[in-house]
Structure 1
Amino acid sequence: MPRFSANLGFLWPDRPLLERIDAAAAAGFRAVELHWPYDIPPQDVRDRCQALGLTLLGINTPPGDAGKGEFGRAALADCRQAFEADFEQALDWARLSGASAIHVMAGVVEPAQKDKARTVLVENVKKAAARAPDMMLLLEGINQRDKPGYFYSTIEEKADIIRQIGAPNVKIMFDAYHVGVAQGDIFTRLKTHLPLIAHVQIAAVPSRAEPDEGEVHYGNLISELDRLGYRGWIGCEYKPRAGTDEGLHWMQDLGARLY
């Protein structure tokens, strides 16, 4: 039976973070995941989640310099010290808030720098994994339509990098939306890479709205996850077409439950 997590980077965007946590609990979710919550004291988020019986899953490392279009710095050769600072900030926040995972954002890389960036990413994540054995570090590809130049967009690239790193606490975040837009053949890739997958996220392909439209039938995907024995959370990282609460009927439409 699937367990759904509310991704509060996209859901209930019309209210502050602590109120989004309240809304997730009121809607029946039992877990939440965040993007960049660094303007909120981690203890406040921990206390609110504990009071509501919510599990806090993961956060992202800081996105870096928006003016430079970095979108993460783990693969940027001239940002090694900046990435170390980013990761320390994320690790401190995660530990104090009770989060258990960090999505390590690679960043936007020029094509000519790809080979060098790969070496930098492996070195940076290997150090980060050793620094945080209590934390699951997640690598996620982002499709090139949404973020042109992002370091990787295919699941095969992530799997190869994870094998190079060789750390048990570095795994794949399998975002079915990004895999669908970037590559397709979601079910085959899910089955092939399941041993390396620690978290799954969903949204409609190609709109990124509620997962009840488009190219992927998520009822079938949820059934496949059950059949394959996936026992992790499924993150609802979609952009609601209108109000978040009004759009939650997709679960009933698919015959799914929150937990």
Structure 2
Amino acid sequence: MIKLAANLSMLFTEHDFLERFAVAAKAGFRGVEYLFPYAYAPHELRSALDDNGLQQVLFNLPPGDWEAGERGLASLPGREAEFRDSVQEALRYAEALDCPRLHAMAGLLPAEADEATREAHMTTYVDNLRFAAGELAKAGRTLLIEPINTHDMPGFFLNRQAQAREVLARVGADNLRVQFDLYHCQMSEGNLFANLEAQLPYLGHVQIAGVPGRHEPDVGEVNYPAVLERLAALGYDGWVGCEYKPAAETAAGLGWGIAYGLQA
């Protein structure tokens, strides 16, 4: 059974952030995710979840200076202390929100990075993920890594599914999993069925969006009904995050989700 979670950083942006929880619940979502919770007090977010019968399924660790263009700390040499602090801050929110999964964004490579620079980032990445996975394991939570395409996020360190499996093997933590975004996979390498099957033992979360444009998943080149049917047939029983940018008003574009319990 496919369980859809609304990404409140992208959906229902016609409303103030804390109002989006109620609108998402009214639309039939039972889970929510978003990029970052840190602009709000944990008790505010907890109340928004409880008041609307929603589960918090995912959010990201602090990413560094997002407004300045940073996209994660996990692979950045010299920022290890800041990364470790970010893990503790994320765990504080995860405890309050009963959130089982946290995503550590890898961060960006410098322009024209050479092989030595890439290897330095990989070494830092593995060490940081091993630390974070250990801290999350103490709290009974899962750490996620996500390959992100470099068309949308130029220079992002982790961008292919095989690379994610290599990282998991190097880290060797049972609670480190892959956040499989079908949009990013299609943009980077395609072969969605084959990549899903290869990644199945490592899946921790799935996300969807239409390709190209990152709009509703019923628009574009991906046959999402077939992909989601295949995902269910493979036995995946986790959440599917709707991390897309509505082409117009959010509710007007939810017709694709009626088959999965949404109310258009």
Scaled to the shorter chain, the TM-score interval is over 0.9
In terms of mean alpha carbon deviation, does 166-175 or 46-55 score higher? 46-55
CA shift for structure 1 position 67? 5.8
TM-score (norm 1): 0.96
Kindly provide the amino acid, as one letter, of the partner of residue 241 in structure 1. A
CA shift for structure 1 position 70? 2.1
Partners of 2:143 and 2:220 in 1: how far apart? 30
1:221 match: 227
**Matched residue SS, 1:174:** strand
Q: How does 1:163-174 map to 2 (within 5 A)?
A: 163-174=169-180
Aligned length: 257
CA shift for structure 1 position 69? 2.7
1:25 match: 25
Query: Are 2:245 and 1:239 equivalent residues in the alignment?
Result: yes
Kindly provide the amino acid, as one letter, of the partner of residue 249 in structure 1. G
Kept in 1, the 8 Å contact 2:4–2:260? The answer is no
**Matched residue SS, 1:214:** coil
Partners of 1:237 and 1:46 in 2: how far apart? 21
CA shift for structure 1 position 63? 2.1
**Matched residue SS, 1:229:** coil
Query: Are 2:37 and 1:37 equivalent residues in the alignment?
Result: yes
Kept in 2, the 8 Å contact 1:187–1:221? The answer is yes
Partners of 2:153 and 2:75 in 1: how far apart? 15
Query: Are 2:2 and 1:2 equivalent residues in the alignment?
Result: yes
**Matched residue SS, 2:80:** helix
Kindly provide the amino acid, as one letter, of the partner of residue 232 in structure 2. D
2:213 match: 207
1:120 match: 124
1:182 match: 188
**Matched residue SS, 1:15:** coil
2:135 match: 131
Partners of 1:68 and 1:246 in 2: how far apart? 33
Residues 164/237 of structure 1: CA separation in 2 closer, same or farther (3 Å cut): same
CA deviation string 1:86-120 (max 9, x = no partner)? 22111111111221111101100122221110010
1:83 match: 83
Partners of 2:67 and 2:13 in 1: how far apart? 23
| Percent pairwise identity | 39
CA shift for structure 1 position 14? 2.6
Detail structure 1 runs of 4+ shifted over 6 Å in the superposition: none
CA RMSD of aligned residues (A): 1.4
Choose the corresponding residue for 1:191, options 197, 202, 211. Answer: 197
In terms of mean alpha carbon deviation, does 169-178 or 66-75 score higher? 66-75
1:100 match: 100
Kindly provide the amino acid, as one letter, of the partner of residue 86 in structure 1. S
Kept in 2, the 8 Å contact 1:2–1:258? The answer is no
Kept in 2, the 8 Å contact 1:37–1:59? The answer is yes
